[in-house]
Chain A
Amino acid sequence: MKRITGDAPSGRVASGFSRREFLRGSGAAAAATALVGAGEVAAGAQDADKGDGVARGKITVVLDVNGAKHEVQAEPRTTLLDALRNQLHLTGAKPVSTDPSSGAATVLVDGKPACAASMLVLQAAGKKIQTVESLGGTKLDPVPAAFVSADAEQCGFCTPGFVVAVRAFLNEHPKATDDEIRSGLNGNICRCGTYANIIRAIAIVRGG
């Protein structure tokens, strides 16, 4: 009888395994220390390195999100998305893929679009994070407003990521041509098929 014994397959999403490997390679403790040194990581109880080169334990990290400082508890492996959603209850950015292939976890980091699912909290410390929630509230940003009037949303699960991506795109290209729009926003997936309406929404914001 053939028998296969072994660890569960990690797959790309099955575990934090690959990320740990990455950290092991680059020296997680060193990486953490470097960031702590940036002055944005508050003092915390970092467990000692257990000898496998992997830093463990939580530390308190201060994140600058939507113009306010927030303390989060982070391990070296904690992603920005995890902290935003599960600790700060900012659930606009969505966990659709662990890599940036869906664009659903798009946030602005120092004004540039970034994937919160593949960025660690430690990488985000000291930077200005802007989530989709900052475009809402009492003064609706023109981008989400145009998404509403062009009905550029169905189930809406991809929508926050798209709204942030479009905001970033229009910040860079306020007068984007139709061709630029069609070639510049291919980082986000919508399964319900709202692309045509998103193109319309962008045209509304751009004017013309």
Chain B
Amino acid sequence: MSDIEFRHAVRDALDEELARDESVIFFGEDIAAAGGVFAVTTGLYEKHGPDRVFDTAISELAISGAAFGSAVAGLRPVVEVMFGDFLLLALDSLINQSAKYWYLSNEQASVPLVLRSAVGGGGRFGAIHSQMPITWLLGVPGIKIVCPSTPGDAKALLKAAIRDDNPVVFLEHKRLYSIKGPVTEEVAEIGKASVVREGSDVTIVSAMKGVHDCLAAAEILAAQGVQAEVIDLRTLRPLDTDTVLTSTKKTNRILVVEEGPETGGWAGEILACVVDQALEHLDDAWRLATPDRPVPYSPPLEDAFYPDAQKIADSVLGRMTQGEPLIAGAAR
């Protein structure tokens, strides 16, 4: 089992599902002949042909709308919206048609579509090519949100997403495309988090690129004698609260690290859950997210914008040496 790049893991999942199930089709902007702007989908068009893998115009609403209709009518469309920022143009069909359909139709038919999109910052792409679209989607019942952090998960979760009978938004962090890791033939289960490092002193929860930052922070903390348990959420809707609660009850402290605006994100959602269901176990609970502002371009501004390993470790150490606050957020 050799290590492959995240982008190739995504491509392999698409390739294998296209080969396995002829109801799978794939379309989007510049994804076919050109192989995608992040070189993720190279070769699929050549291998699976222009009927099943095709380029579209710059028409995000048509893309999401066509995905909806074709999914109801028996296909399993996978579509790409190049950057998460462009999702906004696709959201009407996704939210008002796809997300509602199963319920509204009284469960006559579901909408098995996958919408892939490249998200996240840190690449100096500025305010309109760096956003995390999750807060726009989190409050929409009926859409699954999958957010892998490793090549192995990218492949296993994308295969699961394609086989899932519901609309799934599959988010790929731009800063992860070139990382390498092992992949398997496994099809993962959507909605399951995993403990990627065990520890007893504090639970740190994150997703996508944040998981790597948290693992690096855990190393820094270990050198200071603090054992952090790190959880990779892998899916943001539905949230695997069991895994988070079990860990929090063990460590009594939870930090959630979210790349995305602090207000309205999933970090707040997780904190609400632990306060609701594990208050008596909590010595501390807090979050690190990005400021409630657009993503800046200038390197020093962008660097300061994101939580990184050192900031995460400093935050944990700061909170743990401050005495023990009684309730979530009290010491902020």
Q: A and B: partners?
A: no
B→A interface (CB under 8 Å): none
